[in-house]
Amino acid sequence: MKIRYFEDTDTLLIEFREAPVAVTRDLDENTILDFDAAGNICSITMEHASTRADAPKFSYEQVAA
In the chain, where the domains are located: 2-50
On whether the CB atoms of residues 40 and 34 are closer than 8 A, the answer is no
Contact 15, 43 (CB under 8 A): yes
Whether the CB-CB separation of 37 and 20 falls below 8 Å is answered with yes
Query: What pLDDT was estimated at residue 23?
Result: 98
Q: What is the pLDDT of residue 9?
A: 95
pLDDT at 49: 93
- Tell me the pLDDT tens digit for each residue of 8-54: 999 999 999 999 999 999 999 999 999 999 999 999 999 999 999 88
pLDDT digits (tens, 9 = 90+) for 46-65: 999 999 988 778 777 888 87
pTM metric for this prediction? 0.84
Show the CA angle centred on residue 11, arms to residues 13 and 17, nearest 5°: 5
Which of 2, 9, 20 is CA-nearest to residue 46?
A: 9
